[in-house]
């Protein structure tokens, strides 16, 4: 039995009997350095959060500078220049009006869910309490966010804790922006509309991962579908919650994945890339119209009483403010669109051609994925992962889906090296 005081997240600990945890000594840019001195390409941005890579000097300097004055104070009844500057930047980027701070992605999503429900109660619409999500959805690990997720691996054991949720079936998945369904998903939308119309009387909110479903298999779906869904929500007094924990802050080639569909959600949730994964921070953004529902004398009990000890942590907020400034100064989105994405796409197609082992290649921005064709083993993806580590890359496939989600500023020579390692790992697994 492998025994350690550390219970690693999202792991079957028995796996570590034959594949022990990697001991990381340091990290820089797109690379991790092991205690042995070996280097690994961080192909998954360390759980999708290292938007600007490891040890970025400007982020580090922002944290050091902030440490000299203020690292954290309670955000209830206080404010500071850093929080105010970050709030203004986030509102400007998202075209939202209000920002509520939390600590992690699941809690940001749960805040949006709770706020949408309480808004209904205040409005005298307590019967509108149902949530609908998308088939294959994943929204977090808290009880409420698991309730609106559609992946049994993560939620089946906890059914007694969870509430019922309906899921829109037959999502129009695409290979990318060139796919005809990306531009026109009317047929699929009409089916979804019929499904939604059955529930609209009791429907409070629809929650989506815009454009890309992450844990569900890095599945890219039609922006036209989202656009139609957003319009339907507006017409039927249904809140739209955009879970941009993974897609937000440039991952799809735009600051928000919602921008691909040119729609506005009622709630937007951000985390992961917001601080480039350096410190925990998440936010839930909404509009003035939602804010006004809760605004009243204290005795009415309309206040939204959700809180976190580290809500608006000042050090993390300084980090986030630095990330947003770097995106602007280093033209990160332009690099993603013009260099990162086309390089990864060409490399993945080359691997598919050379190995004949991949199919269903899909991509957008700084994300690309493909499925192992006719996998030889139940856990073929896990075997590829093991081989890739030996060759110099940290891949962490989702089942038998191989994907790359490197830091958005990863250099071309590193992307090409990652491609070579992935091809060799596939041929060796």
Question: What confidence tens digit (pLDDT) does each residue in 140-166 have?
Answer: 999 999 999 999 999 999 999 999 999
What pLDDT, on the 0 to 100 scale, is given for residue 71?
Answer: 97
pTM above 0.85?
yes
Any idea what DSSP says for residue 162?
Answer: P
As a whole number, mean pLDDT of residues 56-63 equals 98
Assess contact for 194 and 177: CB atoms under 8 A: no
Domain boundary among 267, 294, 329: 329
Assess contact for 189 and 231: CB atoms under 8 A: no
| Domain identity same for 282 and 353 | no
As a whole number, mean pLDDT of residues 205-212 equals 98
Specify if 8 maps to a domain. no
| Domain identity same for 145 and 209 | yes
309, burial (CB in 10 Å: exposed 0-12, middle 13-18, buried 19+): exposed
d(CA 417, CA 392): 9
| Domain identity same for 170 and 256 | yes
| Domain identity same for 170 and 285 | yes
| Domain identity same for 408 and 283 | no
Assess contact for 52 and 250: CB atoms under 8 A: no
d(CA 336, CA 241): 26
Domain that holds residue 411: 13-55+331-428
CA 160 to chain centre: 27
Specify if 6 maps to a domain. no
Assess contact for 400 and 372: CB atoms under 8 A: yes
| Domain identity same for 143 and 251 | yes
The 10s digit of each residue's pLDDT in 270-291 is: 999 999 999 999 999 999 999 9
Specify if 117 maps to a domain. yes
| Domain identity same for 46 and 68 | no
Domain boundary among 271, 300, 329: 329
| Domain identity same for 46 and 89 | no
Q: Which residues contact 256 (CB under 8 A, 6 or more apart)?
A: 93, 94, 210, 242, 244, 247, 248, 268
As a whole number, mean pLDDT of residues 286-313 equals 96
Domain boundary among 329, 359, 380: 329
Q: CATH number, domain at 156?
A: 3.40.640.10
| Domain identity same for 68 and 201 | yes
d(CA 101, CA 76): 11
Number of helices followed by number of strands (H, E) in the chain:
15, 16
Specify if 1 maps to a domain. no
Assess contact for 255 and 249: CB atoms under 8 A: yes
Q: With bands split at pLDDT 50, 70 and 90, how would you rate the model's confidence at 406?
A: very high
Taking Cα atoms as reference points, which of 349, 343, 330 lies closest to residue 416? 343
> In which order are the strands placed within the sheet that holds 31-34?
24-28, 31-34, 39-42, 393-394
Domain count, the chain: 2
As a whole number, mean pLDDT of residues 387-400 equals 97
Specify if 28 maps to a domain. yes
| Domain identity same for 78 and 98 | yes
Specify if 286 maps to a domain. yes
d(CA 128, CA 121): 9
Q: CATH number, domain at 421?
A: 3.90.1150.10
Assess contact for 248 and 255: CB atoms under 8 A: yes
| Domain identity same for 39 and 68 | no
Taking Cα atoms as reference points, which of 315, 325, 324 lies closest to residue 75? 315
| Domain identity same for 258 and 375 | no
What pLDDT, on the 0 to 100 scale, is given for residue 100?
Answer: 98
């Amino acid at each position: 039995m492998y025994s350690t005081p550390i219970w690693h997240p999202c792991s079957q600990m028995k796996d570590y009997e034959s594949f022990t945890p990697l001991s990381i000594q340091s990290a820089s840019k797109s690379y991790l350095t092991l205690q042995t001195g070996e280097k690994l390409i961080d192909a998954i941005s360390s759980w999708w959060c290292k938007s600007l890579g490891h040890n970025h000097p400007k982020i580090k300097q922002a944290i050091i500078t902030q440490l000299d004055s203020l690292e954290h104070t309670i955000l209830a009844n206080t404010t500071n220049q850093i929080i105010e500057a970050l709030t203004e930047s986030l509102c400007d980027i998202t075209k939202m009006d209000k920002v509520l701070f939390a600590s992690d992605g699941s809690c940001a999503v749960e805040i949006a869910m709770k706020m949408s429900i309480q808004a209904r109660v205040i409005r005298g619409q307590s019967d509108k309490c149902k949530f609908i999500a998308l088939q294959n959805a994943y929204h977090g690990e808290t009880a409420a966010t698991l309730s609106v997720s559609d992946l049994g691996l993560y939620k089946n054991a906890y059914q007694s804790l969870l509430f019922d949720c309906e899921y829109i079936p037959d999502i129009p998945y695409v290979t990318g922006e060139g796919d005809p369904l990306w531009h026109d998903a009317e047929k699929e939308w009409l089916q979804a509309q019929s499904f939604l119309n059955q529930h609209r009387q009791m429907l409070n909110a629809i929650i989506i991962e815009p454009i890309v479903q992450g844990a569900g298999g890095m599945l890219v779906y039609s922006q036209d579908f989202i656009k139609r869904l957003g319009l339907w929500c507006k017409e039927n007094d249904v809140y739209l919650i955009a879970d941009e924990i993974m897609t937000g802050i440039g991952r799809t080639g735009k600051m928000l994945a919602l921008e691909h569909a040119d729609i506005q959600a009622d709630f937007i949730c951000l985390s992961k890339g917001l601080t480039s994964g350096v410190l925990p921070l998440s936010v839930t953004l909404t509009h003035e119209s939602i804010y006004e529902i809760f605004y009243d004398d204290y005795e009415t009990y309309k206040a939204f009483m959700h809180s976190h000890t580290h809500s608006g942590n000042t050090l993390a907020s300084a980090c986030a403010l630095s990330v947003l400034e770097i995106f602007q100064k280093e033209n990160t989105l332009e690099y993603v669109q013009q260099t990162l994405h086309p390089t990864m796409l060409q490399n993945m197609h080359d691997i598919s051609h050379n190995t004949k082992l991949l199919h269903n290649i899909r991509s957008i921005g700084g994300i690309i994925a493909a499925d192992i064709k006719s996998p030889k083993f139940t856990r073929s993806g896990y075997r590829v992962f093991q081989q890739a580590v030996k060759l110099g890359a940290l891949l962490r496939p989702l089942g038998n889906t191989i994907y790359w989600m490197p830091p958005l500023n990863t250099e071309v020579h590193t992307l090409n090296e990652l491609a070579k390692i992935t091809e060799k790992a596939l041929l060796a697994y």
